[in-house]
Each structure stands twice: as C-alpha cells, then as structure tokens.
C-alpha cells in the first residue's frame, strides 16, 4: 500500500483515471442517456382522407382520425379545397368510429383539378392530409 498525500495533482490524476474508466464502461465517452433526455416520436393522431370523383356537381369527402388504430371521437376536422371546388371551408367532427364525412360541390363544370385538404390540430400543431383529383 502506498500512501499518497491529498494534493490537487493527485485529485486531478484520480479524476482522469475515473473518467477513463467510466468512458470505457459507458460506451466510448458518451454520457449515459436518462429517461428525461429521450424524445418520443409518436405517430398519433393518424389522419386519413379520401375524395371521390365528382358525380354531377358533388363529390364525397371521407376520412378517419385514429391513434394506434383506436378511433378518436369528436375531433374537429377542417376541410379546405382549391378555389374551384368547395364553396367555403367546412368544419366537421369525427363520430364514435373516428370517421368524418362531408360533400363538396364543384363550382364550375369545367374543373380540371380538385384539391381537398383535411387539417386537425394536435398539441398546438396542425396535421394535414391533401388529396388531389384530376378530371
């Protein structure tokens, strides 16, 4: 056993040895990740949107809002479209199956493209899906 006086040089050497040992045991000098450091990316909610081709001047808009395949009820869904398809933006709510639906109306017979967007707000951030129908 060797007695070493507790000087600042000895403390520095011991600290370096401890740091080297920890680096070796913890994965190449990376710090240990704690639970509060983790960012969990969640795919909830999930939004689907379908738009049918117009029949006469009307087309059907349908979709779902789910989280891990569980339907979400009473979610506000804002539907908007390209200028020549829906008269004005529409707000709908999902039912107990997480489904929403509405009818759109084409404003002119000479439409070439209809673009419909469904938007929901989750944690203050918009989540949108867009479907484009070509004539």
**Assigned fold of 46-134:** Immunoglobulin-like (2.60.40)
**How much is the pLDDT for 1?**
41
The answer to whether 84 and 106 are in contact (CB under 8 A) is yes
User: What is the value of pTM for the model shown?
Assistant: 0.64
pLDDT at 126 over 70: yes
Mean pLDDT on 5-24? 49
pLDDT tens digits, one per residue of 33-90: 455 555 555 567 899 999 988 888 888 999 999 988 899 999 999 998 876 556 567 8
pLDDT tens digits, one per residue of 94-112: 999 999 999 888 877 667 7
**How much is the pLDDT for 94?**
95
Helix, strand or coil for residue 8? helix
Give the residue extent of every domain in the chain.
Answer: 8-37, 46-134
Beta bridge partner(s), residue 68: none
The whole-angstrom separation of Cα 10 and Cα 131 is 69
The whole-angstrom separation of Cα 27 and Cα 7 is 31
The answer to whether 127 and 84 are in contact (CB under 8 A) is no
**How much is the pLDDT for 22?**
47
pLDDT at 13 over 60: no
Nearest Cα residue to 61 out of 129, 111, 127, 135: 129
pLDDT at 27 over 80: no
**How much is the pLDDT for 71?**
92
**How much is the pLDDT for 74?**
94
């Amino acid at each position: 056993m060797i007695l070493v006086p507790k000087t600042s040089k000895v403390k520095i050497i011991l600290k370096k040895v401890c740091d080297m040992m920890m680096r070796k045991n913890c994965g190449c000098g990376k710090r240990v990740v704690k639970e509060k450091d983790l960012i969990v990316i969640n795919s909830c909610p999930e939004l689907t949107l379908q738009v049918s081709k117009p029949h006469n001047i009307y087309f059907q808009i349908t979709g779902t809002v789910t989280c891990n395949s569980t339907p979400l009820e009473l979610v506000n869904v804002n539907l908007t479209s390209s200028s020549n398809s829906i008269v004005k933006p529409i707000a709908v709510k999902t039912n107990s199956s997480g489904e929403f639906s509405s009818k759109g109306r084409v404003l002119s017979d000479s439409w070439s493209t209809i673009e419909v967007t469904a938007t929901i707000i989750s944690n203050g951030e918009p989540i949108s899906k867009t479907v484009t129908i070509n004539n």
